[in-house]
Amino acid sequence: MKGIPVQIIALCFALVLVTTIPTSYSQTNTQASKSHTIFIMGCAISQACFFPCQITVAKGDTVTWVNRDTVNHMIISGSGQRGPDGWFSSPVIFSHGMFSHVFDRKGAFPYYDSVNTYSQGVVIVDSPTNSNFVKLQQSYFSDWWCTR
């Protein structure tokens, strides 16, 4: 024997790679993203025009705002009191129109309506969606917060 055959070296290298890849990579890539809907309605009647005003989703999920109101709206990340924070914003959402955004990072993303700045909501993103982070954010962004 003059040396170790190249095929054996390649097989050993592949085995080392497969056994050292973290399992979180394979779990993240196999999870199917989900779609969630928030309805915009009744803004002229009440200060809470997002239903639900608080939603918890997994990282990679899509949230779609559907305008069921009779007037146009525009969704902007941030708060009506402090202004936009630059994470996302919709174009004008006409009556019966919609806007979708994929949430690809963990965090709490408050948003408001440019027409009714007092009307606020929040998308809480984490994986898994029942973590302590989510519970803390849900208690902070209560239904009261959504209409203050």
Tens digits of per-residue pLDDT, 113-140?
A: 988 888 899 999 987 666 777 777 777 6
119 backbone φψ class: left, alpha, beta (φ>0; ψ -120 to 50): beta
Q: Which domain holds residue 120?
A: 33-146
**pLDDT at residue number 4:** 63
Residue 37 inside a domain? The answer is yes
Residue 51 inside a domain? The answer is yes
Instruction: Tell me the average pLDDT of the chain.
Output: 78
> Taking the CA of residue 3 as centre, how many other CA atoms within 13 Å lie in the half-sphere pointing to its CB?
4
Name the residue type at position 52.
Answer: P
Token duo for residue 11: 């097989």
Confidence of residue 5 (pLDDT cuts 50, 70, 90): low
**pLDDT at residue number 29:** 42
**pLDDT at residue number 86:** 92
Lowest model confidence (mean pLDDT) among 11-25, 64-78, 92-106: 11-25
Residue 16 inside a domain? The answer is no
**pLDDT at residue number 43:** 76
20 versus 45: which is more confidently predicted? 45
Q: How buried is residue 73: exposed, middle or buried, by Cβ count under 10 Å (0-12/13-18/19+)? A: buried
15 versus 67: which is more confidently predicted? 67
Q: How buried is residue 116: exposed, middle or buried, by Cβ count under 10 Å (0-12/13-18/19+)? A: buried
Element (H, E) at 102: strand 98-102
**pLDDT at residue number 14:** 45
Using the predicted structure, report yes or no on whether residue 110 has a pLDDT greater than 90: yes
CATH of the domain at 52: 2.60.40.420
Residue 19 inside a domain? The answer is no
**pLDDT at residue number 145:** 60
Using the predicted structure, report yes or no on whether residue 93 has a pLDDT greater than 70: yes
* Beta-ladder partners of 57: 125
Q: Tally the domains of the chain.
A: 1
Residue 10 inside a domain? The answer is no
User: How far is it, in rounded angstroms, from Cα 68 to Cα 34?
Assistant: 22
